[in-house]
Structure 1
């Protein structure tokens, strides 16, 4: 099926944001669009063909953007604030909605992007029609920290930072530090979604790999139990932190089924 993909540059007051949109030939513009939130080392390009698959199967427009400091967006002027997950809802995300003239939306996030998606659903209770999290963290747990420590050590090996720079030109070290140094900082140890989730009233789909190396199944259960709207929990047997890349057909099918009752 044909897919129309377009690149956008959103000019904000002091910087610019790189964004992308996908629309299939069978798109139903009466359906609420999907907005994607990437993970700690992610960007638009690292979603691969997942947005196009979503656009085709759900017949909805799909949008994604590189957060400030990531991918092809402008450099971040400083380090991440401790409350960066909650802040995204009323900063760059708000500008993305305005640029694309999006009112109601479905929000989908992977890993820390899943936490941001939950915070966004909480901040826009009247506009967010559905929340989907994939491998999201509810809080900082030892499994998360041990996985980050191992990844940080791995990036000390020759060529690893250069691989990251392929997706984050001139920003690779900042991106890596924004992940590892933020999450490993003592001041971040009490971060969680406890105050945000009770504000989520829309239908929610929580997807988590059984063997996720950055978050136990309990993380997904806490998100599932914490939201106030109707919720569905899918623990995917044998999958890890990237279920949408490990089993894309399965994940897209779960999302498509979940969205069938959302206009």
Structure 2
């Protein structure tokens, strides 16, 4: 049975610290394989990936690295309001610094929800380094279903209990995290956002995974991501969080895809 070594680190990127966690399989060949870089969703963090990263490392025989974006989890608070170009900015400015600090050369980009968008931007921005792209429940444009889901969540987070549960992961940063998601996505200035440009620049193999019952986006998104680039995998009966709802199926799909990389 493959075991993994877990390691936490705070990395200084400019004026701010980001929290990272890596899982390295005991397999001696793991160091020869490109690691998987995980991008979390709009309310996510390293901890909210739960058991998925460790199991992904074991299933793929690759080092897996997750990090809390600035303003999230155990990383430093964000100094201001989230910019409208935040999805592309993550790929442009944060990813190269992370790779430099962590000694990463080639890598696999894998992201959930808006993190999937960041993975797409990363694959397009760094084609010489990104060997493969995996998206999980990613959105590629502003869809009515996405906005309806966010408005419903906005009402749900009026409940102090729901906000308290989120605060277990983000602490005092929770109000900022909620505004960074709800305020940004519902803003009229974000209404024209899409990933058409970066998708046109993706050159690596692609696996776009999506739940059939995803409450934040239709299956049009994985179809657009995979079109002419790879495979769209629709998970029957699954919603927006496949790594919690169908972890085994998700792991098997990604491991099978990456076996050829």
Q: TM-score range by the shorter chain?
A: over 0.9
Paired with 1:27 and 1:237, the residues of 2 have a C-alpha distance of: 36
Deviations 1:148-170, CA, capped at 9 Å, x for gaps: 00001000012211111110011
Paired with 2:6 and 2:59, the residues of 1 have a C-alpha distance of: 15
Write the mapping of 1:91-110 to structure 2, written as runs, cut at 5 A: 91-110=93-112
**2:159 counterpart SS class:** coil
Residue 87 of structure 1 corresponds to which residue in structure 2? 89
**1:156 counterpart SS class:** coil
Q: 1:27 deviation in Å? A: 4.8
**1:169 counterpart SS class:** helix
Residue 24 of structure 1 corresponds to which residue in structure 2? 25
* Contact persistence 1:106–1:131 (CA under 8 A): yes
Deviations 1:184-231, CA, capped at 9 Å, x for gaps: 000101000011001100000000000000001111111112xx6x40
**1:233 counterpart SS class:** strand
1:48 alignment partner, one of 47, 50, 68: 50
Larger deviation: 126-135 or 87-96? 87-96
Matched, 1:5 2:9: no
Residue 174 of structure 1 corresponds to which residue in structure 2? 176
Paired with 1:38 and 1:93, the residues of 2 have a C-alpha distance of: 13
What TM-score do the two structures reach when normalised by structure 2? 0.97
**1:261 counterpart SS class:** coil
Write the mapping of 1:220-231 to structure 2, written as runs, cut at 5 A: 220-225=222-227, 230-231=229-230
Paired with 1:249 and 1:160, the residues of 2 have a C-alpha distance of: 27
Residue 260 of structure 1 corresponds to which residue in structure 2? 259
1:129 alignment partner, one of 115, 131, 134: 131
**2:43 counterpart SS class:** coil
Q: 1:25 deviation in Å? A: 1.5
Q: 1:56 deviation in Å? A: 0.4
* Contact persistence 1:27–1:59 (CA under 8 A): no
Paired with 1:216 and 1:12, the residues of 2 have a C-alpha distance of: 36
Paired with 1:130 and 1:2, the residues of 2 have a C-alpha distance of: 24
**1:170 counterpart SS class:** helix
Write the mapping of 1:200-239 to structure 2, written as runs, cut at 5 A: 200-225=202-227, 230-239=229-238
Q: In structure 1, list runs of 5 or more residues that go unmatched.
A: none
Q: 1:251 deviation in Å? A: 0.4
Q: 1:2 deviation in Å? A: 2.2
Structure 1 stretches of 4+ with a deviation exceeding 6 A read none
Paired with 1:20 and 1:142, the residues of 2 have a C-alpha distance of: 35
Q: Which has the higher helix share?
A: 2
Residue 37 of structure 1 corresponds to which residue in structure 2? 39
* Contact persistence 1:132–1:207 (CA under 8 A): yes
Q: In structure 2, list runs of 5 or more residues that go unmatched.
A: none
Paired with 1:16 and 1:156, the residues of 2 have a C-alpha distance of: 30
**1:64 counterpart SS class:** strand
Count of paired positions: 259
Paired with 2:130 and 2:259, the residues of 1 have a C-alpha distance of: 16
What TM-score do the two structures reach when normalised by structure 1? 0.97
| Structure-2 change in CA distance of 1:184 and 1:101 (3 Å) | same
